[in-house]
Each structure stands twice: as C-alpha cells, then as structure tokens.
Chains A and B, each alone.
Chain A
Amino acid sequence: MIDLLEGFVLELRKAGIAVSMSENVDCASALAHFEVDNREFFKYALGSCLVKNQAHWQAFETVFEIYFSRTGRKIDKDESIDWDEALADLARAGLQDGASGDLTQAGGAGEPISDEEFAALLFRALQNGETQLANALGRLAVLRYAGMEPGRPVGGVYYLYRTLRNLNLDAVLEELISQESTRRDRRLSPLQERLVRDDYKSRIDSLKREIEAEIRRRLVADRGPEALARSIKKPLPEEIDFMHANRDELLQLRRSIQPLSRKLAVRLARRRRHLRRGSLDFRSTIRHSMSYGGVPVDPKFKKPRAHKPEIVILADISGSVASFARFTLQLVHALSSQFSKIRSFVFVDGVDEVTRLLENADDIGEAVHRVNTEADVVWVDGHSDYGHVFESFYERWGKEFTNKTSIIILGDARNNYHASNSWVLRELEKKVKHIFWLNPEPRAYWDSGDSIVGAYGTYCEGVFECRNLKQLDAFVDNLA
C-alpha cells in the first residue's frame, strides 16, 4: 500500500500539484483509519490530505481514478467475457430499477442487440432518469463503439470521440425535449423548457462521465497506470496555455479569471493601505505639540498619496492571439479600481479605442464580444501589421500620453514581414513611464519567422512571456 501511495504522490507531483513531505506522512497515517473498501470515503480522505487548492481537485481526481480504478485489474482482454459481464450488469441494473421484461430478455439471451434497439434502450433510460441502467448502457457502448485495441498507442480522447459519435447525444437531447412536450400534451413554457433541458443535460453529462471513466479503466487495464497518467494528463487551470486551449479549457479559464481578479484586487488594495508612512507633516506636528507644552511628543506624518498608475493597453486581437488578449483585457478591467485610468486599444492592422465599450458593459464577456464585432480594426487585409498600427496609434493618440502613463502591449509581434516602425516605441519610451510587452508565445519562438519582438523589445522596459494565468497574475501583481 505504501508503495502504491508513493507512486500516487509522485504522479500528483508530476501533474503539478505540490505535495509536501508532511502531507505525504499525514496521508499515510490517514490510511490507517480508513477501510479501503469504501472507495468514496477513501478518495476524499486522500484528497483532504493532499490537495489544498480546489482548482487542483480535477487533476487529483483523474490521477486517483487511474491509480485506484475500480475494476482495473479484473478486466480480461477477452472480449466475449466482457460482453457477458456487461450484459449481466445491464440485467442487474434493469432488474433493480424495475424495468420491463423485454430488457432482461435481451440481457439474459446474451446475444448482441442491434444498434437501433440499443439506442432506444439508452433513450428510455435517460428519459426515465434510470441512472444505473444508463451507466451500464454507457459502459456497454464503449465496448460496442470505441473499438479499443490492446496496445494501440492512441489517447483516450480518440476512443471517447468514437463512442460519442455513434451515440450522437446532442440529437438525443433535442429528441428528449421534444418528446417531453408531447408527453405532457401541451407546449412547454420557456421556463419549463429550460428546466427540462437542464434536467436531461445533467443526465447526459453523467452518462458521458461514465463513458469516459470506462474508457480510462480499460486503458489502465491495458497499459498500466504509469503510462496512462502520462498520456491523459490535463494541465492545471492556471497553467493552461492561452494559445492552445480547447473549448472546455477556455471555459475553465473564463471561470477562473473572476476569482483571480477578485483575489488580485484584494491583495493590491491591502498593499496600498499598508504602504509605509509618508513624510513628516510639520504643521500638524507643531499643532499637536501645543498640548504637551510645545514638545513634539507625537510626530504626525502625511498620509502617503496612493499612486495609481494610468494604464494604456494596446492589444492585438487577430486570430492567433485573440483569446490571450481577451483574458488580459478582462483581468485588467476587473481591476479598474486599482488604476487611476485605463484606456484600451485593439488592433489587427488598424487600431481603434474600445475603452467605452468595456466600461459601460456590465458583463465583460459580452463587452469583449462587442469589441470583436464593432471595433474598426481592419485596415487593408486583416493580417497583423504592427508597424502601421504603431504609426497611426502614435499620430492619433500619442499627444495624450504623459509621464504617468504605462503602456502595455499585448501581442506576438508577428508582423507578416511588414515594416516594423519601431521608432514609434522609441519616441513613446521617452514620453511615458513604462512600456511593457506581453507575448503569449513561448520564449523559444521569439524572433523566429516573422516575429520581430526583439526589434520592439529594445525600447520596452520589459518583454514578458505570458502564456498562462499564472504568469499573467504575476505580471499584473507587479504592475499595480
């Protein structure tokens, strides 16, 4: 058991969760108090000892499922046995849920049922909310459709895709909803429809999770936990790469940006309040010394004037770096109370100011959408042209910047081989307080191909690699 735990902890560390020695010891001593047969309690016990950050829970869970999978060792590679087992499973689930006789017949006979029958069964299970039956069917579906072959070097995602494509759950969802309204014999009101939809959606989601877990179990049986952990590991939310995030990950990022900005705001406000005392307030000190007969017993100090930087953000929103710009704009605007003034500009090959759009919006997501649709940023062909952008930026707004302004430029500096016009930055550098450049590309790619970040970088106070929330967080923290 200790060995297993050791491997488990090692795997967690590899996934990026920091597990200290003492936590490891805690965990080992916790095991003494737990019956291993109750898997659920066991999991939470391990979790409470090892994972101290909710954002890491998902990663923990994945590793846990791999290491302590339910039937991991038992699954035989012989398909026919699996079939029987799964069908027996199905029959059991069917019986327990009191489903009608034809189902048990299908199970008992042990002969494969056709695709249509299978789909109908699944449909009914979902409709009636028979979770157990649906899960059994889900496991069966993996057998039927995933076409898993032992030793084949493909990730779980491939099998998952194949299974889900065959089940076509999106269509099932629509069908379920339309049936619901005929079943109730009248049209659903919009509110009801929404509720019903969410009902079915949650059922289908749990089915999907079951399918995913089943695939994982089979893969573990095939390849062993160590190999698998490496191949299906997901990055922690704060380490998801902006440029390569898929849809789920983007959603996850969006969700974590709000707590992040709140945390940052609290931290900054606190720091500002605890600034060291200002210079001696001579007048006030003398005034207070009167009550001690002119002896300045209690020196008074001026309140430090909170210096809040004025921020100008110049963001590239062309396709390649759009999601990065979006997150940065969102974060900075969520922190607007921490800056005296924020102005936002976006560009592709033309440049436009979008401060208004972002300020007046309640919902930042919507605002960003409006930025993408309404801002006038395309000048010729819609390919990034930093040179032209900087030039027109300087001509139109350059006069408004003072020595209190900090300019932050977001972009990958991939200029499509246009002129760089880096003299603009040289001029700006003389005028403003700071120029920072945030580049969402890995440092290794800089100045390769059409990237000319080096040419601009010489006039910036700092060029930072900013590929994930962690790095963005660190930068904004330093800025304010």
Chain B
Amino acid sequence: MWEEANNCGQVNKETNRWDQTVKEKTITETRHRFQSPDQVVKDLGRVSYLADNSIGSAVYLADRLSKPVLVEGPAGTGKTQLAKSVAEVLGARLIRLQCYEGLDESKAIYEWNYKKQLLRIQAQNVAGDQELSTPDSQGGTKSTWNELEDDIFSEEFLLTRPLLEAISAQDPVVLLIDEVDRVEIETEALLLEVLSDYQVSIPELGTVTANQVPLVFLTSNNTRELSEALKRRCLFLYIDYPELEREKEIVRVRVPGISDRLCDEIGRVVRTLRTMELKKHPSVSETLDWARSLVLAGIQSVDETTAQGSLNLLLKYKSDIDKAQKELSLVDKS
C-alpha cells in the first residue's frame, strides 16, 4: 500500500506485490486465530509446549487485540520457545530478529541494495552512450534520468530485513524480536511504528502497511528497563520458573523414557535449589539437560552420589555448586 512521498507527479508504472495488496487489504480482515485462552493452552500442549494460564490468556489477548506481547523472565524458561511453538501451532512462518547492541535500521527494517543500484546506473550509462552516438537522441537524457530514478528506488532494489519482511508477508507469519533489551534505548524507537501501526515508512517509496497483522513476540532478559513507550504498546507476560507440577510435566513430555519416580525427584531437587540464594538458579532447559543425562546414564533415582556428581549440569558457578553441596549436605560424602 502506497502513499506517494515525493510529489513529483510521476505515476509508478510497475504494478508490484504491494500494489496488489491495496485491493486485498479491505477484504482480508484479520481472522481470529484462537477461540479461547483454553484453546491456546491446549494447542500449545499439542506441540509439547506446556503453557500455563497466564501464557494462554496473554497469547489469546494478543491475537484478539492485535497487540505485541512482551515476554520477560529469567533465562531459559522458554520465552523464545513460546514464539516458536505458537508459529508451529498456527503453521506460520517464524521471522526472527535477533537484537544486539548496534542494531540499526538497515539490519532491522530495510536497506537499499546500493551495489545493484550502482550496476543499474552503470548499465544505463552504457546504454546512454550508445544512444548518444546515434544521431536522433535529442533531449533523451532528461527522461532517462527520471526513469532511472524511479527505477533504482523501486522494490527490486530493496532488501527487506525482518521487520519489513514480516509486514509485507503474504503468508501467515509470527514475528519474534529476540532479546530486545540488548539494543540501545534510542534504537527501540525503530520498533515503535511497526509495533503500534504495523506499518513501515520508507522515505523514497511511502508507507508499507501490513495486510495481515502478524503475531509479534518480544523477549527481554530484563538487563535494562525498557522505555515506557515500548511497554505501553505491548501486552506484558512474565514467564517465571514453573511450579513443581508443571515442571514435572515438562520433563515428562520433553524427555522420553523417563520414569515417574525419577521425574518427581528431579523436580523436587530443582525446586529446592531454586529456594536457595544462588547467583544463577537452574533454568528449565538446564533441568531438561540434567534429566536427559540421568536417563542416558541409566540412573533410576537421585541419591547423594548422583546429585554430587551431576550438580555441575544444573549450576554454572563454582560458588553456587559449593553452596548447594553444603545446603544439601552432600559435602561430607566426598
């Protein structure tokens, strides 16, 4: 969908992808993807993502209100996985924008393929030279210049980056903006237009508006406070470490061939570890690693020696391991 930004009065001859979407836009109102929060939870369960009620209602609401979801929580609790699983449930393509310090417009939204533009200009020059050599080329340069300008700022020379990609996609997509807290506070502003209006303004072309509102997930590890402007535009979802029962369920689903007893013990040990004051508490993914390795080693139940030997899978700091050993009274055995 276009709004001519430059009032040069030229008509863009090309009928491209986005022109067509103008007509379709009015027809395809976004269809609701989920019927109820319950359904979200169930659907996610089908792809082995065990959601709780807070996740269910946030995703459901995001769909209904067409708003992005800002997912926060400790590392390794399945924030990114949530976006992946939702994409899987919907059969949608996942477009991922990994944020990092120094991320800019040309990496996040779009970029002009200037090498190709240069080539195009050079090709024109060659053609122009040939025309000049023929006698009947009076005043030809002016019109070719305009044509050329139109030409090199057209969609053909535009490299779409994740945000524009998600906006202009024809197929259903889920957009994941990962670790948004890593970009500088100034760069956050880049996201605002996309997140609130689902549109991207390109000075040379005009405004591209989405013809379908994608589901958007932003994840943050909370290393800094996000700006109010960003938070205001999003629904907020905090994924904490799961409750004992849910964690056991996750282990059971994700680690095939685990016995109920082992599963129960793993869950309880991890819960106990999380009540301690550690630098870094074991995350769900670390619990899963631990469970897998115990199953592989053919261990049936967690006792002192097993715990002693495998704590390093759960805890990643020496001081944490020492402390946990002391608290679980494992030390005297060694």
Q: Does A128 contact B (CB under 8 A)?
A: no
Given A40-B53, A259-B222, does the pair A49, B235 have CB atoms closer than 8 Å? yes
Which B residues lie within 8 Å of A362 (CB)? 318-319, 322
Q: What is the CB-to-nearest-CB distance from B73 to chain A, in angstroms, rounded to a whole number?
A: 8
- A44 and B54: CB pair below 8 A? yes
Interface size on A, residues (CB 8 A): 41
Which A residues lie within 8 Å of B105 (CB)? none
- A191 and B329: CB pair below 8 A? yes
Q: Does A297 contact B (CB under 8 A)?
A: no
Q: What is the CB-to-nearest-CB distance from B36 to chain A, in angstroms, rounded to a whole number?
A: 8
- B272 and A195: CB pair below 8 A? yes
- Which residues of chain A from 19 to 37 have a CB within 8 Å of any chain B CB? 20, 22-23, 26, 29-30, 33-34
Q: Please pick, from A26, A52, A57, the residue contacting B70 in the complex, using a CB distance under 8 A.
A: A52
Q: Does A263 contact B (CB under 8 A)?
A: yes
Q: Please pick, from B53, B61, B237, B303, the residue contacting A189 in the complex, using a CB distance under 8 A.
A: B303
Which B residues lie within 8 Å of A189 (CB)? 303-304
Q: Is the interface of B mostly helix, strand, loop or mixed?
A: helix
Query: Quick one: CB contact mask for B52-89 with A, threshold 8 Å, 1 for yes?
Result: 01101110110011010110110000000000000000
Query: Quick one: CB contact mask for A352-366 with B, threshold 8 Å, 1 for yes?
Result: 000000000011010
Closest residue on chain B to residue A45 by CB atoms: B57
A267 to B234 alpha-carbon distance, docked (Å): 23
A362 to B57 alpha-carbon distance, docked (Å): 41
- A266 and B223: CB pair below 8 A? yes
Q: What is the CB-to-nearest-CB distance from A22 to chain B, in angstroms, rounded to a whole number?
A: 6
- A266 and B61: CB pair below 8 A? no
Query: Quick one: CB contact mask for A173-204 with B, threshold 8 Å, 1 for yes?
Result: 00000000000000001110011001100100
Given A20-B232, A22-B232, A48-B58, does the pair A29, B65 have CB atoms closer than 8 Å? yes
- Which residues of chain B from 191 to 247 have a CB within 8 Å of any chain A CB? 222-225, 228, 231-232, 234-238, 240, 244
- A191 and B303: CB pair below 8 A? yes
Closest residue on chain A to residue B322 by CB atoms: A362
Which B residues lie within 8 Å of A29 (CB)? 65
- B328 and A52: CB pair below 8 A? no
- A23 and B303: CB pair below 8 A? no
Q: Does A423 contact B (CB under 8 A)?
A: no
- B236 and A52: CB pair below 8 A? yes
- B57 and A267: CB pair below 8 A? no
- B61 and A54: CB pair below 8 A? no
Q: Please pick, from B54, B70, B275, the residue contacting A47 in the complex, using a CB distance under 8 A.
A: B54
Q: Does B148 contact A (CB under 8 A)?
A: no
Closest residue on chain B to residue A198 by CB atoms: B272
- A30 and B65: CB pair below 8 A? yes
Closest residue on chain B to residue A32 by CB atoms: B64
Given A22-B232, A190-B328, A190-B329, does the pair A45, B61 have CB atoms closer than 8 Å? yes
Which A residues lie within 8 Å of B58 (CB)? 44-45, 48
- A270 and B225: CB pair below 8 A? no
Q: What is the CB-to-nearest-CB distance from B146 to chain A, in angstroms, rounded to a whole number?
A: 34
Which A residues lie within 8 Å of B53 (CB)? 40-41, 44
Q: Does B158 contact A (CB under 8 A)?
A: no
Q: Does A262 contact B (CB under 8 A)?
A: yes
Q: What is the CB-to-nearest-CB distance from B72 to chain A, in angstroms, rounded to a whole number?
A: 6
Closest residue on chain A to residue B319 by CB atoms: A362
Q: Does B254 contact A (CB under 8 A)?
A: no
Q: Which 6 A-B pairs have the closest CB atoms?
A: A190-B329, A362-B319, A44-B57, A52-B231, A44-B54, A48-B235
